[in-house]
Structure 1
Amino acid sequence: MLQRHIASADHSGANLPAEVAYGAPAGTLDMEEEKRIDLLALLGYVIRWRWLIAIFLLAGLLLGLAYSVIAPKMYQATARLELTMPMIVEGGVVSSSRDRLTLMNALEHVKSSRVGQRLVTQLNLAQNDEFLRLEGNPSLSKILRRAFGIGGRDLSSMSEERLERLALGKYKSIVNPVAKRDTSIIDIHVRFPDPEMAALIANGAAQVYANQIREFAVVSSPQPLGAEILERAVAPGAAYAPQRTLSVLVTLVLAGLAAAATIFLMELMNNKFMTPEQVESELNVPILGVIPFFKPADRTSRDLDSPTSAISEAYRSLRTNLTFLSSNGAPRTVAITSTEAAEGSSSVARKLAQDFSALGLNILLIDCNLRYPKQHFLFGIENLTGLSDLLSNNDDDVSLSSLLNGKNDGRSAAKVFRETSTPGLKLMTAGAIPSNPVDLLASSRMSKLVAALSDHFDLIIFDCPPILGLADAPLISRLAEGTAMVVSQKQVARKSAVHAALRIRRVNGRIFGAVFNKYDAGRSEGYPSHHRILYDYGGCQGADSENI
């Protein structure tokens, strides 16, 4: 019935399959869209948390620079050995696997306790305070001692046996023998804060290993394993570590990972709706409209009445979407509710009723919030007689039977159906606040009233109380053709909204869709969304959406 009041539009492709309407297979479009959304979501996180990421990266940069300055310099000295492999023939072929095995054994032998113990004894490393005190690898104690003069070991209280174990352990930690690929050459790398000591230990390890090989050769087979020192280590002139560039890169990567972990945890704790797409996904309902959020409260009435304002354009879009819900046009009865209080459902119901009446329709807005009624306040009308009086029959001049049977002189009807400043729009206030609102709304009188009023008005809009914690809205949703849920940005918890929608569905109520209210594009910056408010052509920066 209402559809004839909306200007006709070309909907030739509205009922066509996706592959016909868009000229491409639907599956291909879905896959491309999914990939694009993933990239946009990743980029959105970066944009939305850009300041947090910048802080973490700056901290990582400073830590990397500080580490390169505070950490002790490490010098690397290298001695080179060449092994003489015995020729082993298996089946007429020289065995290369035996050569690799011999080379691997040699690498382990260089770091063994046998070589290390002999070197410690020869160089008297267990009694060398400088060798024992300097740390061969970066550590927290070393950095703290260098920066603040704290940490370190007390060598004076250690026994000789413990000093020898300490020296042997340090030898194993700073010596790193590496085999040159496809050769029998071994490079013995020693990294130590003292370049002279690093060269001394590298040459000592090479010499001790070569001597041990010669000792074994005396009692071995005719083709013994041999070892020859090709190059002796020299004290390096430049530090091997820390490398400033590498230190900064590592700390930046770690800072990036820390930022990602922090963002992940904060996103988990952020359980509010930020975009219309999140409402669609969580509630499994379409978005009927997106109502923008406006800050200056003194401009609310002016922007709601202005036909070129962003908020007026958004409500017209909501009206159009409700009108074309089905091929039969807009529903005759619509319930407007929200998950919790202060999401703006009363304001949405009021403005939607005004916009439908602007089409020349006969509209009735019923304030069904019998606990905290709001519509009489929004319209500036006294709440003397209303819905509760009809349902409880408290007023002798106003009875349900007289209204339904038309046996009234017009005076009683005027007390119930209040005229508003909007032509074609009548308001039924909540009336006196009863002690049993649920009983009244669940009574047969309520269902009879809705059925009778549907024949007298083109559209009835029910302004319902919040869903959670109350049975009122689910009861009314059963009487209406469908329900529109108002969901405010960054206000209601997602799980709460999902539970509210489930309550409507459990009583066999139909949810037409959701109205995303108080939408501020600045709050959702970085969130992927195609519901962008582009109504600024009217020059409106609007007023604050009413929290009622």
Structure 2
Amino acid sequence: MLGKDNDARPISLRDQRAPVIVGAAPVPWTAMEETAEPAFNLVEYWRMLLKHRVLIAVIFVAALVVGVAATLLMTPIYTADATLQIDREAAKVVEGDVSPQETSTLGMEFFQTQYGLLESRMLAERVADNLGLNSSNAFLEQMNVDPREEGSTDAERRAKRKEQVVQVLQDNLVIKPVTGSRLVHVVFSSPDPALSAKISNAFAENFIKANLDRRFESSAYARDFLEDRIAQVKARLEETERQLVAYAAEQQIINLTEPDEKTGAAQSLVATDLASMNQALAQATAARVSAEAKWRQASTAAVMTLPEVLQNPAVQQIAQDRARLNAEYQQKLRVYKPDFPEMQQLKAQLSELDAQQNAIAGDIRASLRARYSAALAEEQSLRGRVGGLKQDVLSLRSRSVQYNILQRELDTSRTLYDGLLQRYKEIGVAGGVAANNISLVDRAEPPSRPSKPSIPLNILVSAIVGLGLGVLMAFIREALDESLSTPEDVEAKLGVPVLGAIPLLEKGVRPAAALDEIRSSFAEAYYSLRTALQFSTPDGVPSTLLITSAKPSEGKSTTALAVARSLARVGGSVLLIDSDLRNPSMHQVLAAENSKGLSNILAGGASLQAVVQPTSEPNLSFVACGPLPPNPAELLSGNRVSLLLEEACRHFDTVVIDGPPVLGLSDAPLLASQVGGTLFVLEAGGTRRGQARGALKRLRMGQARLLGIVLTKFNMKTTSYGYSYSYDYTYGSTGSQGSLQTSRRSA
């Protein structure tokens, strides 16, 4: 019996979505868009560690046990410590400064050199000889070292033993400088506390003696070397002095001063004369320029306008007298006429004064010319003298080249001679002073307790190593883990969203019975899946929905039935089709007839109306598989599937298809290409990542529109390390009113 007509039924799921045309070009599915998460997700790492906590705990405990056992089996080692003070330089007694002098750069190099000498093979050999460690195997036996009895002769065996003793001494010696000071600890470790102190003190004492020996040897060698060098430099100095004096006398080179310390040049007599003449020439040139300027002005300007004339006292006096007579003449001109004798006399006096003034001005102009001529003559005379001195200086310089070479050689030899002589005196004084820049501050004492092994330290190291190895193995195990046990595993490893997680039923509980119990977490999980399907596409639940899985027995038939029943219970008409033409099982769950069904429709032997069967669930109809065809893939590859779905969509709100498994068969990809949406069922912990990827790849090749994944048989008890999915119901009533409380927790 087909579903109700749209006009006669209530509002259903179809009214909540746009119509889906069966047979249209399918929409390819893509991996879900992952939300941006920080590169370091502490919560995810914590969940991973909790997941593998047993492995981490086992490795941690094993490391502790191994560490404790190794510590108890170790031979106790005693460490003795002698303290030395190493100064940068010995006390400078000869200079009156007894404090060590050093610089930061040279100081670091010096101290590093001293530390290297303390660890040197030379010092270890000296200690071995001083303590007599090479005479027998007793020292090696005390250090728990097997003596090497190699060599055919006693000499060869002694040489091998000495080499082994020196190697043991170097291996157990530790030099520890004290930061920011001149102190250094000489540390030696051995199984015997007295032996450790004895060898530590021996290293310190022999280092001090070796330093004194090196200083004495270097001082003696330096004295011998300096004596030879002083004799050679002295002979060279005397020879150079004789050559310099002879050359100066031959070339008549006379210097008034000693050679300059910086430039090495000396002031000669000719150069001094040239400097004096050049200074006089500069003054004469300045005087000539000044006289020439005054003469040129006097020769071109009016004589009475010259500053020399105007400033002349006689001219100024005549000007005053003339002004007075002229004033008197002008005053009397008002009374007398110009021809009057007194007026004629005044006019004659004025003319006389003018003549005197002109005569004085002429003399001044003539004196300016004479002054210019004298200045010019003096300048020319000095210039000639300077030119001659220049030639003398140039000649002296050409003759002084060899003189300067000899002078520089003489100065160099004298400086070298003085320096060598002073150094020789200092070494002679220092050689008799037994001062040493290395001193023993604290002698080593036999330790009262062993330094190794340290039980707390070894346990701590074992714990850290064990914890680190455990975490490392957890990361490796997680990286190699191919299981898909939780929704988070599925989304992280497959890149497909999980629409629902179906809990694992308890032993003996059948899926049909759990679905009938609406209060069970099993049924509530499918209700949540139905809600997720409504939001899986912009149009709501697809009109045609295929439910498949990677392999059999993953719960796809139960999921198909549960989804169909959930959609039917919200008021929509639903058609459930069993499309597994190879191993059908839905008719057994629904106790329906399987004599005719989908195979008859696809073969053209029956219509949809003839094979639709009602179920005990309202609004839910069923189409069984029907007789098993010989070649299911041929039936599913034709156009009858799309025609069937188009017809079913005209009568039902939703068509749910229980499909066959994907792997190994071509049926599921063929059906997926014809429906509006595909729901992929995955058994938690039962399907490997490779299998799931292969199935999804085949669906993608079939242009399936994958809505998401349903994780079935999800054991929430064994996944308590980070994931918890539970559905709890509490029904209660107060009076006549009941209340339903539903809670879902997910983490």
Scaled to the shorter chain, the TM-score interval is 0.7 to 0.9
Tell me whether 1:109 sits opposite 2:107 in the alignment. Answer: no
Counterpart selection for 2:69 from 58, 66, 71:
66
Q: Is the 8 A contact 2:150 2:160 kept in 1?
A: no
**CA spacing shift, 1:94–1:164, aligned 2, 3 Å:** closer
Q: CA deviation at 1:113?
A: 0.9
Q: Is the 8 A contact 1:371 1:437 kept in 2?
A: yes
**CA spacing shift, 1:508–1:300, aligned 2, 3 Å:** closer
**Distance in 2 between the 1:46 and 1:128 partners?**
57
1:147 is matched with none
Counterpart selection for 1:460 from 655, 679, 682:
655
**Distance in 2 between the 1:243 and 1:272 partners?**
44
Tell me whether 1:313 sits opposite 2:524 in the alignment. Answer: yes
Tell me whether 1:534 sits opposite 2:727 in the alignment. Answer: yes
SS at match of 1:297: coil
1:132 is matched with 140
**Distance in 1 between the 2:163 and 2:730 partners?**
81
**CA spacing shift, 1:127–1:372, aligned 2, 3 Å:** farther
2:671 is matched with 476
2:267 is matched with none
**Match runs of 1:135-174 below 5 Å:** 135=143, 153=146, 155-156=148-149, 159-174=157-172
Counterpart selection for 2:56 from 53, 56, 59:
53
**Distance in 1 between the 2:76 and 2:174 partners?**
18
Q: 1:166-205: CA deviations, max 9, x gaps?
A: 1111111111122222332221100111111111111111
1:85 is matched with 88
| Letter of the 1:108 counterpart | G
**Match runs of 1:322-333 below 5 Å:** 322-333=533-544
**CA spacing shift, 1:383–1:270, aligned 2, 3 Å:** same
Tell me whether 1:523 sits opposite 2:718 in the alignment. Answer: yes
**Structure of larger gyration radius:** 2
Report the aligned-residue RMSD. Answer: 2.9
2:565 is matched with 354
Q: Is the 8 A contact 1:44 1:525 kept in 2?
A: no
SS at match of 2:146: coil
**Match runs of 1:223-242 below 5 Å:** 226-242=437-453
Q: CA deviation at 1:508?
A: 2.1
1:148 is matched with none
SS at match of 2:547: strand
SS at match of 2:218: coil
Q: Is the 8 A contact 2:82 2:201 kept in 1?
A: yes
**Distance in 1 between the 2:547 and 2:484 partners?**
19
**Distance in 1 between the 2:694 and 2:213 partners?**
82
**CA spacing shift, 1:34–1:80, aligned 2, 3 Å:** closer
Count of matched residue positions in the alignment of Structure 1 and Structure 2: 481
**Distance in 1 between the 2:63 and 2:125 partners?**
41
Counterpart selection for 2:606 from 399, 402, 405:
399
Q: CA deviation at 1:499?
A: 3.0
**Distance in 2 between the 1:289 and 1:69 partners?**
56
Tell me whether 1:384 sits opposite 2:595 in the alignment. Answer: yes
1:436 is matched with 631
- Runs of 5+ unmatched residues, structure 1: 10-29, 136-141, 143-151, 404-412, 540-548
2:549 is matched with 338
1:448 is matched with 643
Q: 1:373-421: CA deviations, max 9, x gaps?
A: 121222223422121222224xxxx434xx5xxxxxxxxx44x222322
Q: 1:201-225: CA deviations, max 9, x gaps?
A: 1111112211111111113354686
1:22 is matched with none
Q: CA deviation at 1:488?
A: 1.8
**CA spacing shift, 1:508–1:225, aligned 2, 3 Å:** farther
**CA spacing shift, 1:128–1:299, aligned 2, 3 Å:** farther
**CA spacing shift, 1:94–1:177, aligned 2, 3 Å:** closer
SS at match of 2:488: helix
**CA spacing shift, 1:95–1:362, aligned 2, 3 Å:** closer
Counterpart selection for 2:196 from 192, 195, 198:
198
**Distance in 2 between the 1:269 and 1:51 partners?**
17
**Distance in 2 between the 1:55 and 1:282 partners?**
28
Q: Is the 8 A contact 1:214 1:226 kept in 2?
A: no
Q: CA deviation at 1:111?
A: 1.2
TM, length-normalised to structure 2: 0.60
| Letter of the 1:378 counterpart | V
Q: CA deviation at 1:366?
A: 1.1
**Distance in 2 between the 1:77 and 1:502 partners?**
71
Q: CA deviation at 1:519?
A: 1.4
TM, length-normalised to structure 1: 0.81
SS at match of 2:532: helix
Q: CA deviation at 1:131?
A: 2.5
Tell me whether 1:294 sits opposite 2:509 in the alignment. Answer: no
2:21 is matched with none
Tell me whether 1:418 sits opposite 2:621 in the alignment. Answer: no
**Distance in 2 between the 1:536 and 1:191 partners?**
72
**Distance in 1 between the 2:180 and 2:539 partners?**
83
2:358 is matched with none
SS at match of 1:126: coil
Counterpart selection for 2:216 from 207, 215, 218:
218
- Runs of 5+ unmatched residues, structure 2: 1-5, 17-34, 96-100, 152-156, 220-426, 733-747
Q: CA deviation at 1:290?
A: 1.7
Counterpart selection for 2:175 from 177, 185, 188:
177
SS at match of 2:514: helix
| Letter of the 2:162 counterpart | E
**Distance in 2 between the 1:299 and 1:457 partners?**
29
Q: Is the 8 A contact 2:57 2:470 kept in 1?
A: no
Q: CA deviation at 1:250?
A: 0.3
**Distance in 1 between the 2:507 and 2:10 partners?**
35
2:705 is matched with 510
Identity %: 28
| Letter of the 1:41 counterpart | E
**CA spacing shift, 1:436–1:299, aligned 2, 3 Å:** closer
**CA spacing shift, 1:134–1:469, aligned 2, 3 Å:** farther
Q: 1:416-438: CA deviations, max 9, x gaps?
A: 22232223322212222222111
Q: CA deviation at 1:446?
A: 2.0
Counterpart selection for 2:494 from 283, 297, 316:
283
SS at match of 1:308: coil
| Letter of the 2:83 counterpart | R
Counterpart selection for 1:246 from 457, 466, 477:
457
SS at match of 2:165: helix
Counterpart selection for 2:130 from 90, 108, 122:
122
**Distance in 2 between the 1:434 and 1:225 partners?**
109
**Distance in 1 between the 2:716 and 2:69 partners?**
40
| Letter of the 2:641 counterpart | M
Q: 1:497-516: CA deviations, max 9, x gaps?
A: 23322322232221111112
Q: CA deviation at 1:315?
A: 0.9
1:40 is matched with 43
Q: CA deviation at 1:127?
A: 4.1
Q: 1:229-264: CA deviations, max 9, x gaps?
A: 222211111111111111100000110111112212
| Letter of the 2:725 counterpart | R
**Distance in 1 between the 2:690 and 2:542 partners?**
29
Q: Is the 8 A contact 2:678 2:705 kept in 1?
A: yes
SS at match of 1:534: strand
**CA spacing shift, 1:538–1:480, aligned 2, 3 Å:** farther
| Letter of the 1:455 counterpart | R
**CA spacing shift, 1:324–1:156, aligned 2, 3 Å:** closer
Q: CA deviation at 1:115?
A: 0.8
| Letter of the 1:179 counterpart | P
| Letter of the 1:304 counterpart | L
